[in-house]
Amino acid sequence: MNRKFFVILAIAAVAGIVGCNKNDNKTTVSDGKIKIVTGIDPIETRAPQLGEDGSGSFADGDAFTLVAFGTTGKSAEFGYSVGYTDLYWNDVEKVAADGKVSFAACYSVQEISNGLFSFDLSTAKYKDLLLASVKDVAVGSSDPVKLKFGHAMHRLVIKYSIDASSTVSAADIVTVCNAKSSCKVDMFAGKLDSSESSKSQFEAEGGNVSFMLVPQACSDVEISVKAGELSTTFTVDEKADACDMLEGGKQLTLSLTVKADRIEIGDIVIDGWGDQGTVEGEIIM
């Protein structure tokens, strides 16, 4: 009897432990994992894999900076590695307001303070800054958080064609772009400010070149073209008179023809005398 009694107690105890574990491990909404889905918009052109139009996707191991924020003024920053980082709702609940939280992200990884950072093309290793944001996601949602990245910089493309009369070749051409190079980025507002930026020079060789530029006025961007001892300088607005601003996420293409590097003399002819009228008068001998 005693032995049977002890066996029954042991079974009951095990059942009780299992029951307690089930209750203790019960998943709450706040413990749920946040599903992050990423993509990259094309330019209207280890780094992400991009196509010719600038669109693409991230691969496992690609890292970017992710910020969660709400209307409370609080924010939480995370280093997010695609395919490796697990992010949970209880990681961001403290910054949520009214049960909702917003996300902003940037690639490449940046040092951020309250959603703000400075970006300088003259020193940045990866010049194609990508930004993404999604607003008012319900805390605890099982739907993926879709981060659609867009290009924050402008892409200026210059294509040269060589006139038959010119002795210049495409390989001889050196293009120097003198433009504003830095900006302040507000991830919460999704805005860039280059008003206080100084200018830097960027150089490229060949007949088909491109420059990543901070969004700025076309009149602020000066292009110098050199080929041997020949040179010319102009601002973008001189060649694209309908362009006021170089906008982030867009691409402007200048197609320029390099003409003769000398004055050409055409057909040489001798005209007859022109009739300049008749004058009558008299003389005294």
Token reading at 241: 């008179």
The confidence score (pLDDT) of residue 265 equals: 52
Q: Rounded distance, CA 143 to CA 141, Å? A: 5
The confidence score (pLDDT) of residue 72 equals: 83
166 & 97 share domain = no
pLDDT per residue, tens digit, the chain (285 aa), is 444 433 333 333 433 433 444 334 333 444 577 777 777 776 554 567 788 888 888 888 889 999 999 988 889 999 999 888 999 999 998 898 888 999 999 999 999 999 999 999 999 999 999 999 999 999 999 999 999 999 999 999 998 888 887 888 899 999 999 999 999 999 999 999 999 999 999 999 999 999 999 999 999 999 999 987 788 898 998 888 878 999 999 899 988 888 877 555 556 454 555 664 554 644 433
- Helix runs in the chain, H state only: 2-24, 236-239
The confidence score (pLDDT) of residue 43 equals: 59
132 & 163 share domain = no
121 & 161 share domain = no
119 & 216 share domain = no
The confidence score (pLDDT) of residue 266 equals: 57
Task: Answer yes or no: is 122 within a domain.
Answer: yes
Token reading at 222: 């000066």
| Residue at token pair 């290009």 | 151
Q: Rounded distance, CA 18 to CA 22, Å? A: 6
Domain boundary among 123, 151, 179: 151
Residue 139 burial by CB count (10 A; 0-12/13-18/19+): exposed, middle or buried? buried
Cα-based distances in Å from 239 to 175, 217, 221, 233, 243: 15, 14, 11, 11, 9
204 & 222 share domain = yes
126 & 183 share domain = no
Q: State the number of CA atoms in the 13 A half-sphere of 28 facing the CB.
A: 8
Task: Answer yes or no: is 21 within a domain.
Answer: no
144 & 46 share domain = yes
pTM score of the predicted model: 0.77
Q: Which domain holds residue 110?
A: 29-151
Q: Domain of 180: which CATH number?
A: 2.60.40.2630
Closest listed residue to residue 78, CA positions, set 69, 86, 67: 67
Q: Rounded distance, CA 64 to CA 48, Å? A: 11
145 & 160 share domain = no
118, β-bridge pairs: 184
CB 32 within 8 A of CB 142: yes
Q: With H, G, I as helix, E, B as strand and everything else as coil, classify residue 59.
A: coil
Q: How many CB atoms sit inside 10 A of residue 221's CB?
A: 24
User: Structurally, how many domains does the chain consist of?
Assistant: 2
